[in-house]
Amino acid sequence: MSLIQHIIDGQLTKGQSTETTPVFDPAAGEQTNEVLVGTPADIDAAVESAKRAFQQWSKTPPTKRAAVMFRMRDILDRRRDEVATTISREHGKTHDDALGEVTRALDVIEYACGIAENLKGDFSRDAATGIDVCGERQAIGVVAGITPFNFPAMVPLWMIPMAIACGNCFVLKPSERDPSSANLIHALYEEAGLPPGVLNVVHGGKVAVDSLLDHKDVQAISFVGSTPIAEYIYTRGCASGKRVQALGGAKNHMVIMPDADLDQAADALMGAGFGSAGERCMAISVAVPIGEETADKLVEKLTPRVEALKIGPYHQQGAEMGPVISRDAQTRIKGLIDQGEAEGAQVVVDGRDLKMPGYESGFWVGGTLLDHVTEKMSVYKQEIFGPVLSVLRADSYQQATDLINAHEYGNGTAIFTRDGDAARDFAANIQVGMVGVNVPIPVPVAYHSFGGWKRSIFGAHGIYGPEAIHFYTKLKTVTTRWPTGIRSGAEFTFPSMK
């Protein structure tokens, strides 16, 4: 068993931490490591390191910052199996799923490689007689990221490349449940030539989070997690005068029209609902078939697929789904299934009593399919964040869209149909930030931006892509006039370009 330490100013350190928290192998249910719990003093040290590094890093030409990103891209690509294994050991997701996470992280690093182009300003000559105007985007200083357990490499690498490519310095507070990926990311960036202090890692829980939110030298906070915590991060961070982007929870629906290819829809629901044991903010957790005939056929196709899910530890050949992250998560998910059944949902496939031979103490929940779910049930209202797919039958397309638009979350959604008119109407009028048409998990590519609507996000900017450039920089506009030998005397009217 090893101790996972902070990384401050390029050095592994215990800092002022005296407390630790256990890190588990979710498949075995056994403790494998322990991680330090950061103190306010540790946050102070990390922020001070980033603040010192900012003086030089912010003045480093964008092309040289991009060169670090190019090297990081090559290193991560070469060592993707190592990173994926590190993810899987502490999170529990399958190796192939972890490799997909690494690939998505690489996409954002590749986008950050083009930072010189994306930071180009604008210029207007002779905006008025003898006056030129230019606009430029400048780094904002020390920024921080608070990241979730479900994507311990991808989400930090949605934030870090964009932030530091823009010239900022970064303090990362990763999830204490699977912290090793964060330290490995730092090691890879160090190999890529990132100077000490540009990226710092402080582990811990609420004390570390609050210290970042309140710190006078932290200019911006990025967060991904549950909605209650996102709202807390946003409220407290804004009260401290910071920029905040806080991405929260989700209840993602897939509408299945009567004309849809039901085999395609069922396969899509399997991956979107049960991949990573449903521990994704973009997981499809609610299938909304239109009409009883469509619903009956869909459930008929889903049932054997859910029953046949290949569940096992991450290293097991052919495993499609692993355990959930913790004993608490396992208990909560099973409790919600119990509650759904008590409220009238039909448990078509029951994953509550799954036993994994050789891993009996692991945090296992089998794939679960619930039918005849209604909008009044707890399993519909709450984000389960587990391998549970609910079928909520709708009488019409209008009822389905009204249902989605009425939900407090608006992260992602999808429609499966052959009807272009229905698809176009759905994309235009659904009140959700990310929409898929025959695409079950509509996570945007890296040169677009990720972000939901309603209570799935707090703050004005999405994460990565063009939105990240605006979040991690501030606009400065410079108006210039050089002496020409002509004096016109003092002017007391409001300046204009006439």
27 contacts 314 by C-beta, under 8 angstroms = yes
| Sign of CA pseudo-dihedral 461, 462, 468, 472 | positive
134 contacts 487 by C-beta, under 8 angstroms = no
Q: Please report the beta strands in 6-76, taking only residues with DSSP state E, as ranges in sequence order.
A: 6-8, 11-13, 20-25, 30-36
Q: What is each CA distance from 215 to 182, 209, 218, 393, in whole angstroms?
A: 22, 10, 6, 49
Angle between helices 227-239 and 206-214 in degrees, nearest 10: 30
257/399 Cα distance (integer angstroms): 12
Is 166 a known active-site residue? no
The one-letter amino acid at 488:
S
Which of 447, 387, 440, 395 minimizes the C-alpha distance to 416?
A: 440
Q: Please report the beta strands in 147-233, taking only residues with DSSP state E, as ranges in sequence order.
A: 169-173, 199-201, 218-224
469/138 Cα distance (integer angstroms): 10
332/484 Cα distance (integer angstroms): 74
For the stretch 186-189, contacts whose Cβ atoms lie closer than 8 Å and that sit 24 or more positions apart, written own/partner, are: 186/7, 188/72, 188/75, 188/76, 188/79, 188/83, 189/68, 189/72, 189/160
* Tally of CB atoms within 10 A around 445: 13
* Tally of CB atoms within 10 A around 258: 16
36/474 Cα distance (integer angstroms): 34
Which of 425, 442, 410 minimizes the C-alpha distance to 252?
A: 410
Active site residues: 281
